[in-house]
Amino acid sequence: MAKLYKLYYFVVLLLCFVESLCDVLCEPGFCSEFRQETGCGRTAPECRINNATHHGLTLASPTICNCCEFCLPTFNEGDHCSRGGPGLGTTIGRCGHGLTCVAEAGGNFCRRMTTPCHRAQDDFDRRHLTGNTGALEERPECDGKGKYGVVACVPTQTCFCQSETGERIFGEAPYLGPQTKQNMHCRCSRLHEEIKRNLGPGLRKPVVGPRCTPDGNFFPIQCLDRTCHCVDTATGVVRQGSGTTVNLDKRPMTDLVCYDASLDPYPEQHRGQPPFNYTTTCIKGIQDRVDLIEQSRDEGFNVDFYSTVTGCLPDWTQTRIAVRNRTRICVDDRGKQIGNYQAAPNTPEFNNMDCKCAHTTSIMGSSSETPVCCANGNFRRIQCRRGMCRCVDSDGRQEGLERADVTRLSCFTQNWRTC
């Protein structure tokens, strides 16, 4: 049987391998002895103060077994900073969140980084001051390096994962307030993007990345060959403890403490006799096609993996647009048609169909304020709510100020109601 590449497991398993190595070397009691004999150096006070102006990052010191703590102060905007790092400059520390050390006439100072995300924030702030931001428009969130944060939300609708460059990627969940953002780590869907980016075009077989949940987090169970582990859904790191590992040749994954039936569309894989499985219809389909291609090659046929095998989504399901009877329809993660969204072949609606609005309404469930979609499941350019209308982009994000009078919207067209 053809093996699919399982790149990422190296990362996860390496981590726990190194951790267990450390357990052996750094026995309990080692550190207290080390601290008595060698002692720990004095660290900067900033981490202990931790107020608006004095703060730092507490790190494990680079001593053996990380027995000591170490404080790296973080500087504020406009503070002096050294460019050379420890030993070279006058101060040891680093510029805080979103700042970088810039050489100027009077020395080196921490300044806000110039990045697309910061520029988008500045643009939002400028418009906000003059009252020109929409009620459902969100200030872009940037990370410590000035890149886009992992999640963007359309308040009242859904939140979705985005890449460092601000492009929407796999992973969406209903917006239930600020906690939705905190629960969406999108590390699994970002890892998929990274794997995709790093695969050379010469690769002969499709790559199966880690399995994600529809919100872009890690599926709580990840398997390497026939062994399944419980993992942290935010980080993907293997969890330790009893009931966190099974061998599918003997036991089903329902025996795992982290098994969650609500996340599992294929319960039949765990019934009956071993060997048990961990797969989905989409992944199984790819595997079968790969097997077929390998067999054809062995028999001397010239077949191309690229044109023959297309992938599954990061949650191991089919894409959300299906073709039935040559017509495109929008489907949910279980392959069931959403509403009556469809597009006939050879129409513009067929070619630009993305089903994003259909999917958003399906995720929002019975909520009364679902967006209005076009017949092909895309977002209608104009959305109205509580007597006010606004322009939205293809992801449903508000663009500019809302108006009571639709004709005053920049995206207004005569046929706005029907897309």
Ligand X SMILES: *[C@@H]1O[C@H](CO)[C@@H](O)[C@H](O)[C@H]1NC(C)=O
Interface positions with ligand X (CB under 6 A): 49, 51-54, 269, 272, 275-277, 325
Bridge partners of 221, per DSSP, are 230
327-331: strand order across its sheet: 321-324, 327-331, 337-343
The residue among 241 and 272 lying less far from ligand X, judged by its C-beta, is 272
The nearest distance, CB 228 to ligand X, in angstroms, is: 13
245-247: strand order across its sheet: 221-224, 227-230, 245-247
The residue among 183 and 277 lying less far from ligand X, judged by its C-beta, is 277
The residue among 66 and 277 lying less far from ligand X, judged by its C-beta, is 277
69 close to 48: Cβ distance less than 8 angstroms: no
The residue among 78 and 275 lying less far from ligand X, judged by its C-beta, is 275
The nearest distance, CB 294 to ligand X, in angstroms, is: 16
Element (H, E) at 104: strand 99-104
The nearest distance, CB 150 to ligand X, in angstroms, is: 30
Tell me if the bond preceding 275 is cis, omega within 30° of 0. yes
The nearest distance, CB 352 to ligand X, in angstroms, is: 22
The residue among 111 and 284 lying less far from ligand X, judged by its C-beta, is 284
The nearest distance, CB 259 to ligand X, in angstroms, is: 15
The nearest distance, CB 52 to ligand X, in angstroms, is: 4
The residue among 53 and 130 lying less far from ligand X, judged by its C-beta, is 53
Q: How would you classify the pairing of strands 69-75 and 94-95? A: parallel
Token pair recorded at residue 339 = 């509403």
Strand stretches in 243-326, DSSP E: 245-247, 321-324
The residue among 86 and 345 lying less far from ligand X, judged by its C-beta, is 345
Neighbours of 172 (CB within 10 A): 24
The nearest distance, CB 1 to ligand X, in angstroms, is: 9
DSSP state of 213: P
The nearest distance, CB 285 to ligand X, in angstroms, is: 13
386 close to 368: Cβ distance less than 8 angstroms: no
The secondary structure of 338-398 as a DSSP string is EEEEEE-TTSHHHHT---HHHHHHHHHTT-TTPPPB-TTSSBPSEEEETTEEEEE-TTS-E
The residue among 100 and 269 lying less far from ligand X, judged by its C-beta, is 269
| CA–CA dist 248, 410 (Å, integer) | 58
